[in-house]
Amino acid sequence: MKELIQLYLKKVYYTVMRHGFDKTGLTKSKIIFSNLFLHIHPVKVHRRSLMFKTTMGLGVMSLALFIILTITGVLIMFHYVPSIALGPDNLPDAYGRMLNLRSNLFWGGFIRNMHRWSAHAMVAVVAMHMLRVFLTGSYRNGREFNWVIGVILGLLTILLSYTGYLLPWDQLAYWGVKVGTEIAKIAPGGDLIRGILLGDNDVGQEALLRFYVLHVAVLPIIISIFIAIHLFRIRKDGGLGRPADTSQEKLIPVSDCGRVENNSFFKSCRSYQLVEFVEGTEPKVNEEVEQMVFAWPKLIVREIIVTLLITVLMVIFSIMFDAGLEGPADPNHPTNPSKAPWYFLGLQELVSYHGFIGGVLIPGLLVVLVALVPYIEMFIETGLKLNRKIVSGVWFHKERLLENSIFLSLYIIMIFLIIMGTFFRGENWSFVYPFAIQSGGGH
């Protein structure tokens, strides 16, 4: 009887999971490729990709933050109403909901904190991810287009964060968005884009609704598609960028990547040998098979570690610091200074010097330049017949000194401007020392 039950349970188990958890190479590959969520990973990964210094986990972190944001965002959607109609206590509905979230909705404050802080963190992590990719030159050697997609993802992240910024309908949100959309006015055709975005001449009910739909439906779908493309291309390009020969590098020892039994078949190839007949370089063939280890369990565990790490950080931050909420949006009482969200403050700082040059020309040029940087590099190299042997995946490659210095200086200037705009600007955008006590405004 006991055996029968065991047999039955085993049958049930194999209808759900199509593999066991023994240590054979076959099982380890099955775990990866028979699972919808895991099969974006290759069965075997290069040992180099497992190391912290290769990626610093920034890509995974961005994805993890996106998932946190989706979950918390959906939870907030159950309560939020994108309406500025006045409630019984004369507060706009959207704002009243925020007050409810904070004071009398169980766990509401925490969920909102998580959502707010993760959104800020995601913009920062994505920016750092971009810096990492540039400094390691990882966008070279066939990964150029993935960089462009990455830049699009970065822009979408900022757009998502920005559209979410308006939704609480407090003074900070209202005037932050107002400033942002006023900057858009300066650009040629900006008035039209602004009109489409706001659905009105000014930030109001229509703008709130449009921002809401963009924030909860349109942009998440678009960014999901682009994330999928981004990851898919990494996979098809053969994993993370790395030098062709890594035999001299000090890598994670094979013994630290989990014991493998019955590995004879997998010793000589990465996964299955059929793809080696495929012509061309897609999928990747002819690699250092001996440097590859099974993705299960090492890679998956490390990915979970990074995910948990960022989650824990966000949870602690959310417990300690409440997301700000100011008074209800009041179009008649501008805050002084009116500041856009922090990632736009560099832009706002530039705008304070010159509207068109600072608000349109420089950022526009920067975005185009950054998006096309692999192709500019390629163009120069082709034109000058440079045959630089630059391997991707190496931090601060000697031959990339010029590129790295230019990019790094631009990055630092941008950070400097953001710090300047965030901490050193007071009333009427005049210079102040940070944390100086500002005299009260209208309220």
Partner 1 sequence: MMRDYWILGMLMILATLGVSLSVYKEMRPEYIAYQKQYYELTGVKQYEYEIKQLNFNTDSGILIDRCMTCHLGATNPAASHFPVPLNFHKAIVSDNQDHHNFDKIGCVVCHDGNGRGLGKVDAHGDYHDWHSPILKGKMVQANCSRCHETTVNDLAGAVNFNRGKKLYFARACWACHTIMGLSSGKSAPDLTDAGAKFSVEYLKESIVDPTANSSISKMPKFSWVTRTDDVNDLTIFLKGQRANRLKDNKKAPVEYKRADLDFLNITSSSASLGKEIFWGISKDGINTRGGCINCHSIRNDKGELQGGHNAPELTFVARSRTKAFIIEHIKNPKKHVPDTIMPSFASLSDQAIDSLYKFLDSFEFSLTGEEKYSDIHIYKTYCSGCHGEKLDGRGPRYALLDPLPRDFTKFQFIKSYQERFASSIKKGVPGTAMSSWENVLDEKQIHLVKNYIIKMAGALKDSYKRLNIELPSVNAKDRKPPYAALVPGDFQKGKIVFQRYCTSCHGKLANGKGPNAYFLVHPLPRNLLNTEFMNQPAVDDKRLYQSIMLGVAGTSMPPHDFLPDQSILDLIEYIKQLNKVQE
Report the residue from 131, 158, 309, 408 that binds partner 1 according to the rule CB under 8 A. 309
**CB-based contact 400:127 (threshold 8 Å):** no
Q: For the CB of residue 92, give the shortest distance to partner 1 in the complex, in Å.
A: 12
Which C-beta is closer to partner 1: that of 53 or that of 398? 53
229 vs 85, 129, 360, CA distance in Å? Answer: 40, 17, 29
**Beta carbon nearer to partner 1, 149 or 313:** 313
Determine if the peptide bond prior to 341 is cis (ω within 30°).
no
Q: What DSSP string runs through 285-299?
A: -S--GGGEEESTTHH
Q: State whether the Cα torsion 124-129-132-133 is positive or negative.
A: negative
Q: Which stretch binds partner 1 (CB under 8 A): 10-18, 56-64, 214-222, 251-259?
A: 251-259
One residue of 192, 305, 401, 413 binding partner 1 per CB under 8 A: 305
d(CA 411, CA 129): 12
Nearer to partner 1 (CB atom), residue 189 or residue 440: 440
* 142: nearest Cα among 386, 390, 395: 390
What is the rounded CA–CA span in Å between residue 25 and residue 13?
20
Report the site for partner 1 in 93-112 (rule: CB under 8 A). Answer: 96, 99-100, 102-104, 106-107, 109-110
Nearest to 164 by CA among 312, 172, 90, 51: 172
Which parts of 120-219 are beta strand (E)? none
Q: How many CB atoms lie within 10 A of CB 325?
A: 20
Tokens at 350, concatenated: 């530039």
Stretch that binds partner 1, among 15-23, 151-159, 321-329, 382-390 (CB under 8 A): 321-329
Under the binding rule (CB under 8 A), the answer on residue 171 touching partner 1 is yes
Residue 38 touching partner 1 (CB under 8 A): no
CB of 28 to partner 1, least distance (A): 13
To which residue do tokens 């054979």 refer? 24
Letters for 325-364 (x = contact with partner 1 by CB under 8 A, - = none) are xxxx-x--x-x-----------------------------
Give the SS3 label for residue 67: helix
* Contacting residue, 37, 88, 384, 402, with partner 1 by CB under 8 A: 88
- Smaller CB distance to partner 1: residue 254 or 275? 254
- Those residues whose C-beta lies under 8 Å from the C-beta of residue 249, and which sit 6 or more positions away, are 48, 243
Q: Which is nearer to partner 1, 222 or 315 (CB)?
A: 315
Exactly one of 136, 170, 181, 392 binds partner 1 (CB under 8 A); that residue is 170
Stretch that binds partner 1, among 30-38, 118-126, 214-222, 307-315 (CB under 8 A): 307-315
Q: Minimal distance in Å, beta carbon 129 to partner 1? A: 21
Interface with partner 1 includes 316 (CB under 8 A)?
yes
Q: What type of residue is 431? A: F
Distance CA 82, CA 160 (A): 16
Give the Cα separation of 35 and 90 in Å (integer): 52
Contact 47, 294 (CB under 8 A): no
Minimal distance, residue 106 CB to partner 1, in Å: 6
Q: Which of residues 185-244 bind partner 1 (CB under 8 A)?
A: none
Residue numbers at the binding site for partner 1 (CB under 8 A): 88-90, 96, 99-100, 102-104, 106-107, 109-110, 170-172, 256-258, 297-298, 301-302, 304-305, 308-309, 311-312, 315-316, 318-319, 324-328, 330, 333, 335, 439-443
